[in-house]
Amino acid sequence: MTLLKDKTVLVTGGTGSFGKRLVHRILHEFSDIRKLIVLSRDELKQSEMALEYPRDKFNQVRFFLGDIRDRDRLSRAFEGVDVVVHAAALKQVPAAEYNPFEFIKTNIIGSENVINAALDSGVNHVVALSTDKAAAPINLYGATKLCSDKLFIAANNIKGVRDCRFSIVRYGNVLGSRGSVIPLFLKQRDQGRLTITNPEMTRFSISLDVGIDLVFRTLKEAMGGEIYVPKIPSYRIQDVAEAIAPDMDQEIIGIRPGEKLHEEMITQADSYNTLEKDDHYIILPVANEMKKHRFEEWHGKNYVEPGFKYNSGTNTDWLSVDDIRELIQQHVDKEFKV
């Protein structure tokens, strides 16, 4: 038996960067899957993606137009589904500050719709994607994702006799994703000047594949209610600039509204419920002693020290300038040269 043998899997936000890579991985690593449903609201991206997976070669794939804001549509899409990976979200921090309720409707109300559709349709496991910005948030985007996280954790309390688990994967900036600093600097390099918010700024860095590996682990291991956090390296914004354009003029423009100097994935308050594993952490839900004992029997008792926090600025694992250049060539632009 493999992880997804004879399962029907649905991916919300399936035409986004993460969703597309997840679909690719599933189709090439789990040939015994029954069906893979790509749910998104963008018909153009779906039509383009469908060209990559023609029905005569990939007869497990279905494309389903819909918005997670539409509960009725989700209920229809979730019929017969065993596993949901919830990757749909609005994500741009500046856009959230300017259009807050649009983010609330998608990231919070949309998440509640996913939960209710899963419970009503007999889904067995939902893994929702979170973000480092959900830990002690200072911007609207992070606040909506924290609220989403709370909804998915609490959903385990209302499932009743249903065989359904809700779990979360939280990670940092995806290397080279749309709207991130690397594509911005590559574009600005052609224009002759880089804009840097703050030379001391740091961020966590993760590749799509490492994030997907953690989703697979969560599907395999989680009891329901846990937040899985990978151990990943940090980078300095100044080192990214050095890696891309070492001799180019730089303009310091200051931190933008809603930005932090450093990001966190585990706060000090989380430390009292956080377990450490070889390559990841698990934040357990706050629970009574009986339920806490069940989690400890399943995951062990290797708690982090009280007061521990997982911060991009105090991380012990760092990407060097050469590391960043190599990763750009691997994941962003194979033709990249300094």
- CATH number of domain containing 47: 3.40.50.720
Residue 68: which domain range? 8-172+205-231+264-311
The model's pTM:
0.95
Q: Is 200 within a domain?
A: no
Q: Is 246 within a domain?
A: no
Measured between alpha carbons, how far is 290 from 276 in angstroms, rounded to an integer?
Answer: 21
Beta carbons within 8 Å of 179's beta carbon, 6+ residues apart = 91, 92
Number of domains in the chain: 1
* Residue-level pLDDT at 337: 87
Q: Is 225 within a domain?
A: yes
* Residue-level pLDDT at 180: 80
CA distances to 110, 164, 293 from 102, rounded to whole Å, are 11, 29, 40
Give the burial class of 114: count Cβ atoms within 10 A of its Cβ; 0-12 exposed, 13-18 middle, 19 or more buried: buried
Q: Is 86 within a domain?
A: yes
* Residue-level pLDDT at 279: 96
CA distances to 77, 274, 307, 334 from 197, rounded to whole Å, are 42, 32, 29, 27
* Residue-level pLDDT at 1: 52
* Residue-level pLDDT at 222: 97
pLDDT-flagged residues of the chain (< 50): none
What is the Cα gyration radius of the chain?
A: 20
Q: Do the Cβ atoms of 62 and 37 come closer than 8 Å?
A: yes
Considering the candidates 91, 133, 145, 260, report the single residue annotated as catalytic: 133
- 91 included as an active-site residue: no
